[in-house]
Amino acid sequence: MSGTPTPRVRVYTRPGCHLCEEVLAVVAAVCAEIDEHWEEIDVTTDPALLERYHDEIPVTLVDGAQHDFWRVDPDRLRAALRAGGPDPAPAPHPVLDSEARPGRWPWSRKGRSTPPR
């Protein structure tokens, strides 16, 4: 079965978004450089996409996984495409990704609702 290859890069955008224009230029340049396919999806045409991504537009996905939002670094995108997918998950943040998360901050374990002063 022949046809258009499935795009490896998808960019969720919306009309009137100046950051979208910048991201689309970067994605188009990188994908042209390494001969990859990409597509643009307007989130305003799909209520589920709009609800999910409205605060993060533009959102860039590589091989179906979220790669970036708001901006795209061309070197990072190029590396993800050459590596065969999105970057591996970043190392955990020492505080934000630990036991001390909202509702479980160290001071909340002591019966306080705000941090000590």
pLDDT in tens, 92-114: 555 545 554 455 445 444 454 55
Question: Quick one: pLDDT band at residue 45, thresholds 50, 70, 90?
Answer: very high
pLDDT in tens, 49-81: 999 998 999 999 999 999 999 999 999 999 999
pLDDT in tens, 3-26: 677 899 999 999 999 999 999 999
At 19, which CATH number? 3.40.30.10
Does residue 88 lie in a domain region?
no
Does residue 113 lie in a domain region?
no
The total number of structural domains in the chain stands at 1
Name the residue range of residue 38's domain. 9-83
Q: Is the peptide bond before 15 cis (omega within 30 degrees of 0)?
A: no
> What pTM, to 2 d.p., does this model score?
0.69
